[in-house]
């Protein structure tokens, strides 16, 4: 099953909880990490796109909620994720050892609360953490307008620091894109492409090379991957949080549909046929879709 065609979608009727609307978030930054599968303590993976638990966690932090507070109102929101720039996978490699040359302790403790040395003795512990670098996603949440208005305000002035899956992954701005009218699928389909100017330029150069012309080609649309939460979905994800309580973390499943859609790039009509010019060096950077540095200057805080 594919995601319902937004051209034939109808708006959800208002209900007692408030008139429906859609909140849009731009999830972009140097690094993102969206945990999904449970792995060993020496490896932390990332999903290829934001999970519902990660997005709900970001919203709960913005509202200042404690981890043991109920999530019912947030869990009821329907989530759609559009992959505007997939980014590339980064492996962060770590080794841990005792500077005194002693064996590392076990993770468990004895009845007296004392950690024993590893048996056989282990002097180096290797860990790997995976991130998505230079990725950009559009997250759309459908629900009651009054709740989404509070969430929009909270994201713009969060109670707690916000992160893209892990605390070491702060988002770039803008994060909140405001509310939109209409059905979830239609809003996702009509929102312009969120790629940075650099990614757009390299995308146009790549299209030109694929078409065999010696110039960038600025297309009016581009294809992106879309995942939309719907009861009729033919796929299932176990990433809907029931509780973030550290002592009782629980998740449940949700149904989703996956598809590829054409979305507007936002290029001005006059720029769709630019004059011929030299193409960027294809070896100068990685895949054009792997770049999204809009608004990110690593030396900004150093006045350089």
Residue 303 lies in a domain: no
Domain extent at residue 204: 6-297
pLDDT classification of 113: cutoffs 50, 70, 90: confident
> What pLDDT shows up at residue 4?
56
Residue 33 lies in a domain: yes
CATH code (residue 35): 3.30.70.2660
For 9-43, write each residue's pLDDT tens digit: 444 443 434 568 999 999 999 999 998 765 556 78
Phi, psi of 229, deg, nearest 5: -75, 125
- Looking at residues 121-134, what average pLDDT do you find? 90
Domain count, the chain: 1
Residue 147 lies in a domain: yes
> What pLDDT shows up at residue 11?
40
Residue 19 lies in a domain: yes
Cα–Cα distance for residue pair 113/125, rounded to 1 Å:
22
- The share of the chain scoring above pLDDT 90, in percent, equals 49
Q: Does this model's pTM top 0.95?
A: no
Coil, helix or strand for 54? helix
Regarding beta strands 78-85 and 221-229, do their DSSP bridges make them parallel or antiparallel, or are they unpaired? antiparallel
Residue 207 lies in a domain: yes
For 226-264, write each residue's pLDDT tens digit: 999 999 988 999 988 888 887 788 888 899 999 999 999
For 76-105, write each residue's pLDDT tens digit: 999 999 999 999 999 998 888 888 988 888
Higher pLDDT, 178 or 295: 178
Residue 25 lies in a domain: yes
> What pLDDT shows up at residue 130?
92
pLDDT classification of 111: cutoffs 50, 70, 90: confident
Other CB atoms within 10 A of residue 138 CB: 25
pLDDT classification of 291: cutoffs 50, 70, 90: very low
Residue 222 lies in a domain: yes
Rounded to a whole number of angstroms, the CA Rg of the chain reads 22
Q: Which two tokens stand for residue 101?
A: 């040359």
Residue 227 lies in a domain: yes
């Amino acid at each position: 099953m594919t995601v319902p065609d937004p051209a034939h979608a109808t708006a959800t009727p208002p209900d007692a909880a408030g008139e429906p609307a859609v909140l849009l978030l731009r999830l972009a930054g140097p690094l993102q990490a969206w945990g999904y599968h449970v792995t060993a303590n020496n490896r932390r993976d990332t999903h290829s796109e934001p999970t519902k638990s990660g997005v709900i966690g970001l919203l709960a932090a913005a509202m200042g909620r404690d981890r043991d507070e109920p999530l019912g109102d947030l869990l009821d929101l329907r989530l759609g994720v559009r992959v505007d720039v997939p980014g590339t996978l980064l492996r962060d490699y770590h080794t841990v050892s005792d500077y005194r040359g002693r064996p590392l302790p076990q993770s468990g403790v004895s009845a007296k609360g004392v950690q024993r040395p590893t048996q056989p003795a282990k002097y180096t512990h290797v860990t790997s953490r995976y991130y998505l670098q230079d990725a950009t996603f559009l997250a759309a949440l459908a629900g009651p307008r009054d709740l989404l208005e509070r969430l929009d305000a909270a994201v713009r002035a969060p109670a707690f620091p916000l992160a893209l899956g892990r605390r070491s992954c702060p988002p770039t701005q803008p994060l909140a894109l405001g509310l939109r009218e209409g059905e979830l699928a239609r809003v996702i389909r009509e929102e312009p492409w969120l790629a940075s100017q650099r990614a757009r330029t390299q995308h146009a150069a790549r299209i030109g090379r694929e078409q065999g012309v010696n110039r960038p080609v600025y297309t009016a649309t581009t294809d992106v991957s879309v995942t939309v939460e719907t009861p009729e979905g033919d796929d299932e994800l176990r990433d809907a949080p029931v509780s973030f309580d550290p002592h009782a973390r629980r998740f449940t499943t949700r149904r989703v549909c996956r598809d590829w859609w054409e979305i507007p790039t936002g290029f001005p009509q006059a720029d769709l046929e630019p004059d011929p010019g030299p193409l960027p060096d294809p070896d100068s950077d990685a895949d054009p879709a792997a770049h999204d540095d809009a608004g990110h200057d690593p030396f900004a805080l150093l006045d350089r």
